Structure 1
Amino acid sequence: MKRVVVGLSGGVDSSVAAYLLKEQGYEVIGLFMKNWHDDSVTISDECPWLEDSNDALLVAEKLGIPFQTVDLSEEYKERIVDYMFNEYEKGRTPNPDVLCNREIKFDVFMKIALSLGADYVATGHYCRKGTIEEDGKKIYRLLAGVDTNKDQSYFLCQLSQEQLSKALFPIGELTKPQVREIAAKMELVTAEKKDSQGLCFIGKVRLPEFLQQQLKPKEGTIYEIATDAALYNAETPQFASVKEQLAYEAETKAYTPQMGKAVGKHQGAHYYTIGQRKGLNVGGTKEPLFIIATDVETNAIYTGQGSTHPGLFKKALYIQESEIHWVREDMQLKDGETMEAMVRIRYRQALKKATLHKFDNGMYIEFEEPQSAITEGQFAAWYIGDELIGSGVIS
């Protein structure tokens, strides 16, 4: 019997994952991760980790598997929370869930599991793992979940071959309704439990309130840039190379207050992100305002009217060399090589056709159609078919 440690989160997905593994004959241990309990942040009354760990315990008792709680809040603060604040301060928008999987669940947590003699770590992610052999070597594949509505492969886009080799995703072949059905049949306390919202650690808090604990409010101006502003009608220059053209297409436009008109005030450019519509509190425009750029240096926010504003769209994005990650190391591009792939620039976004161009200093992803709200700090993930091949931080 192989031993598996399941990250029991107190939700229905991980509960059913544990049940299925037990049915398959594994020796299963349930481990609950406590990632956050900082009372200096005024949300502890709202923090549902106690309720979650209690639900996880009840599930473990029902399934007759050993259970314990591990406190990873110190590592969590250091690797996720501090990183997030740091990124927001620079005016980038990080993805804590992707980091949580890379740094916590499949690193710190996995090491604890292996120290308990586990052969594998399992989670309730909607994705699948495949294996192929090449030259006698096992290669692990990260595949989308069967439930296209819930596919969570994107959140695991930073995993390595080493991490994948020890990972199991028992519910990847199931749809959410099927998972709930199994939980109800087994009378698991989590069967009807709503999916958790918010960040993977701070419970029910809204992100801006959390950020305000660390990043001090600082009043600045909101500017509106017209759709027919001169910089959108500038002539496209002649390019000496493909690389030059891609750099031009991926470039973030530089806005100045002179280009637009002041339409309101905000409490800090670092609280906002590209493509954001809510929370601006500026009325009186024909169409809703969308954020097209933020400048944390000058503390200015630039907006445009409507979801088709030219300031929202770009044809390409850039990933620095040090930020490129290949899940399939055997498929990585060399300098000068290209690859056709389907790319996602945020969770829940439909996959878009694109070409990857690899250069000595990094990689450009050129989309067939211009994409809205390409956001610095988020992860771009590229797929071939239903397999996630690699990812990188948009720069």
Structure 2
Amino acid sequence: MKRVVVGLSGGVDSSVTAYLLKEQGYEVIGLFMKNWHDDSVTISDECPWLEDSNDAMIVADKLGIPFQTVDLSEEYKERIVDYMFNEYERGRTPNPDVLCNREIKFDVFMKIALGLGADYVATGHYCRKGTIEKDGEEVYQLLAGIDGNKDQSYFLCQLSQEQLSKTLFPIGELTKPEVRKIATEADLITADKKDSQGLCFIGKVRLPDFLQQKLKPKEGVIVEVSKEQNFYERNIPVFQSKEEELKFYSEKPVYHLSDGKVVGKHQGAHYFTKGQRKGLHVGGTVEPLFVIDTDVEENVIYTGQGKAHPGLFRRTLFVTDDELHWIREDLALDVDETMQIKARIRYRQPLQNATIYKVVGGAYVDFETPQSAITEGQFVAWYIKDELVGSGVIS
């Protein structure tokens, strides 16, 4: 009997994960991760982690499996929260959910589980694991979940072969309605529980309130840039090389105050992100304003009217070598090699046709059609068919 430690979060997905593994004859242990307990920045008064740990305990009791809580709040603060503050301060927009999986669930938590003699760690993610043999060695694949509406492979885009080798995703072959049906039939308390919203483990948070703990408010101006600006009509030069072309298309405009008109004020450029529409509090425009860029040095937010504003779109992005990650290390490109891929720059975005070009110092991802709100600090993940093979932080 192989031993599996399940990250029981108090939600329906992890509850059914534990139930299915027990049915399959594994020796199952439930662990609840307590990762955050600063209630001063959550929106609602309810204490989410207390309620969740209680539900997780009731599920474990119902399934007759051992259960304990582990407090990882110190590691979570160091590796996730501090990183977030740092990225926002630099004018980048981090993805805490991707980081949380890489740094907490599949690193700190996994080490605790293995310390308990576990053969595997299991989570309630909607994705699948494949195994193939290549050159006499086992290679692990991260495959999209069967439920296209819930596929969470993107959030696991930073996992390694080592981490995948010790991981199980029992609900990846199921749809969400099927998972709820199993929970109902097994009489689990979490069967009808709503999916959690908000930052991974922090719950519902007002992001500016959260960031204001460390990043002080600083009044600045909101500038509206017209879509008629002549720098959007760039002259396309004659390129001497493919790399020169990619560099050209990956560069974003550099905005100055003189490029538009001041239409409002804000409390800190570092609280905003590209593509954002809410929170600007500027009225009187024909179409809603969207953030097209932020300048944290000068503390200016540049905006444009409408979601088709040219300032939102770019065709190409760059990932530096130190932020480039291959789940399938055997497929990693060498300099001057290319690969046809499908890629996404945010969770739930439909996969887009693209080509990845490896150059000295990093890789360009060149999309067939320009993408809206390519945002520094976010993750781009690339797929071959339904397999996520690599990812990187947009630089």
TM-score under structure 2 length normalisation: 0.99
Instruction: Tell me how far apart the structure 2 counterparts of residues 92 and 160 of structure 1 sit (CA, whole Å).
Output: 24
- CA RMSD, 1 decimal: 1.0
Match of 2:223 in 1: 223
The 8 Å contact of residues 4 and 119 in structure 2, kept in 1 or not, is answered as yes
Instruction: Tell me how far apart the structure 2 counterparts of residues 40 and 259 of structure 1 sit (CA, whole Å).
Output: 40
In the TM superposition, residue 47 of structure 1 has moved relative to its aligned partner by: 3.4
The 8 Å contact of residues 47 and 203 in structure 1, kept in 2 or not, is answered as no
The 8 Å contact of residues 223 and 263 in structure 1, kept in 2 or not, is answered as yes
Instruction: Tell me how far apart the structure 2 counterparts of residues 43 and 182 of structure 1 sit (CA, whole Å).
Output: 32
The 8 Å contact of residues 41 and 206 in structure 2, kept in 1 or not, is answered as no
The 8 Å contact of residues 39 and 47 in structure 2, kept in 1 or not, is answered as no
* Secondary structure class of the residue paired with 1:390: strand
* Residues 1:322 and 2:333 are matched in the alignment: no
In the TM superposition, residue 40 of structure 1 has moved relative to its aligned partner by: 6.0
Match of 1:197 in 2: 197
* Secondary structure class of the residue paired with 1:113: helix
Match of 1:209 in 2: 209
* Secondary structure class of the residue paired with 2:133: strand
Instruction: Tell me how far apart the structure 2 counterparts of residues 97 and 287 of structure 1 sit (CA, whole Å).
Output: 32
Match of 1:336 in 2: 336
The 8 Å contact of residues 43 and 206 in structure 2, kept in 1 or not, is answered as no
Match of 1:252 in 2: 252
In the TM superposition, residue 18 of structure 1 has moved relative to its aligned partner by: 0.2
Match of 2:108 in 1: 108
1:245-292 superposed Cα distances (whole Å, 9 cap, x missing partner): 111111121000101000100110000000001110000000011110
Match of 2:9 in 1: 9
In the TM superposition, residue 331 of structure 1 has moved relative to its aligned partner by: 0.2
Structure 2's unaligned 5+ residue stretches are: none
In the TM superposition, residue 44 of structure 1 has moved relative to its aligned partner by: 8.8
The 8 Å contact of residues 221 and 300 in structure 2, kept in 1 or not, is answered as yes
In the TM superposition, residue 203 of structure 1 has moved relative to its aligned partner by: 1.4
* Secondary structure class of the residue paired with 1:340: strand
Instruction: Tell me how far apart the structure 2 counterparts of residues 56 and 140 of structure 1 sit (CA, whole Å).
Output: 30
The 8 Å contact of residues 46 and 204 in structure 1, kept in 2 or not, is answered as no
Match of 1:373 in 2: 373
1:340-379 superposed Cα distances (whole Å, 9 cap, x missing partner): 0000000010100000000111000000000000000000
The 8 Å contact of residues 44 and 204 in structure 2, kept in 1 or not, is answered as no
In the TM superposition, residue 234 of structure 1 has moved relative to its aligned partner by: 2.8
In the TM superposition, residue 174 of structure 1 has moved relative to its aligned partner by: 0.2
* Residues 1:35 and 2:38 are matched in the alignment: no
Q: Identity percentage over the alignment? A: 75
* Secondary structure class of the residue paired with 1:358: strand
Q: Which amino acid aligns with 2:158?
A: Q
In the TM superposition, residue 38 of structure 1 has moved relative to its aligned partner by: 2.9
Structure 1's unaligned 5+ residue stretches are: none
* Secondary structure class of the residue paired with 2:4: strand
In the TM superposition, residue 202 of structure 1 has moved relative to its aligned partner by: 1.4
Instruction: Tell me how far apart the structure 1 counterparts of residues 38 and 151 of structure 2 sit (CA, whole Å).
Output: 31
Instruction: Tell me how far apart the structure 1 counterparts of residues 87 and 21 of structure 2 sit (CA, whole Å).
Output: 38
* Secondary structure class of the residue paired with 1:391: strand
Instruction: Tell me how far apart the structure 2 counterparts of residues 44 and 37 of structure 1 sit (CA, whole Å).
Output: 13
Aligned length: 395
In the TM superposition, residue 335 of structure 1 has moved relative to its aligned partner by: 0.1
Instruction: Tell me how far apart the structure 2 counterparts of residues 192 and 44 of structure 1 sit (CA, whole Å).
Output: 20
Q: Which amino acid aligns with 2:273?
A: T
Instruction: Tell me how far apart the structure 1 counterparts of residues 190 and 378 of structure 2 sit (CA, whole Å).
Output: 31
Paired residues for 1:333-372 under 5 Å: 333-372=333-372
TM-score under structure 1 length normalisation: 0.99
Instruction: Tell me how far apart the structure 2 counterparts of residues 32 and 233 of structure 1 sit (CA, whole Å).
Output: 54
Instruction: Tell me how far apart the structure 1 counterparts of residues 151 and 85 of structure 2 sit (CA, whole Å).
Output: 28
Q: Which amino acid aligns with 1:372?
A: S
In the TM superposition, residue 41 of structure 1 has moved relative to its aligned partner by: 4.9
Instruction: Tell me how far apart the structure 2 counterparts of residues 362 and 325 of structure 1 sit (CA, whole Å).
Output: 11
1:106-128 superposed Cα distances (whole Å, 9 cap, x missing partner): 00000000000000000000000
Instruction: Tell me how far apart the structure 1 counterparts of residues 47 and 379 of structure 2 sit (CA, whole Å).
Output: 27
* Secondary structure class of the residue paired with 1:141: strand
The 8 Å contact of residues 289 and 305 in structure 1, kept in 2 or not, is answered as yes
Q: Which amino acid aligns with 2:354?
A: A
In the TM superposition, residue 39 of structure 1 has moved relative to its aligned partner by: 5.3
In the TM superposition, residue 102 of structure 1 has moved relative to its aligned partner by: 0.3
Instruction: Tell me how far apart the structure 2 counterparts of residues 387 and 340 of structure 1 sit (CA, whole Å).
Output: 13
